[in-house]
Amino acid sequence: MKKGMIALIGMIVALVFIIVALIGPWYAVSTKYTLGTTEYKMDATMSLTSSTTSTTGGETKTVSHADSRKAAAAAGADTGLYDIINIAFYLTIFALIVAILALISMLGHVFNFGKPKMMKNLAMIFGIITFVLTIVAVLYFMVALPDKMNSSMGAASLGKIGFWYSTTISGTSISLGPGFAWYLMLIAGIIALIASIVMLLKKSAPEVVAQPSQ
């Protein structure tokens, strides 16, 4: 029961992290420059559904990716960035669904609903699939996003942009990097894998077979 509860709690944590990752920022851009004696700063974060921009002394503005894509298409700009975001979004949705199935299976095994051995096997399988989906999502986003920025921005002065990137151009500092939701997604996958391993190590209670009455 102890190992089963550990795995169950771990999967609950992984599920919560995936939900937060679904709505939190996956990427952040910060620019800062000084004009006279005043420092100006602009911060932008990108979740899987929208982008939020805030400026020094200005208002915070949030725009959905659907609206941003329409505006970019109307201006003749490259919209490939939104394809990357959509793929990461759907991978996260699939990971969320499978994590829920893993949690239900673990509940069934721990509290002896249905067939404990079958529930244990399902919990391990769904947990491993959750791990695979989360890792694929974060790695795909980490590799595809910089490639798209390098191919579409065409700014030679910025050099080769990486997933983690910072530079200073003409007194303006620019930094790019993953937001906390990207890290949470990565951690969720690791926790799901650990929960699956714990379930593998847990011994199943013997199933009681009803004896025919004499």
45-80 pLDDT, tens digit each: 999 989 988 887 677 889 998 898 898 889 887 888
**Is pLDDT of 210 > 70?**
no
Measured torsion, CA atoms of residues 175, 181, 186, 192, in degrees rounded to the nearest 10: 170
Find the DSSP H helices in 75-202.
80-110, 116-153, 180-201
Residue 209 pLDDT: 47
CA distance 200 to 4: 10
Residue 116 pLDDT: 77
**CATH number for the domain whose boundaries are 2-201:** 1.20.140.150
Please, which residues have CB within 8 angstroms of residue 164's CB and are 6 or more apart in sequence? 176, 177, 178
99-117 pLDDT, tens digit each: 999 999 999 888 887 787 8
In this structure, which amino acid lies at residue 124?
Answer: M
The rounded percent of the chain whose pLDDT value lies above 90 is 49
Please, which residues have CB within 8 angstroms of residue 185's CB and are 6 or more apart in sequence? 17, 18, 21, 26, 92, 95, 134, 137, 138
**Is pLDDT of 205 > 80?**
no
**Is pLDDT of 36 > 90?**
no
CA distance 135 to 204: 29
State whether the Cα torsion 3-9-10-11 is positive or negative. Answer: positive
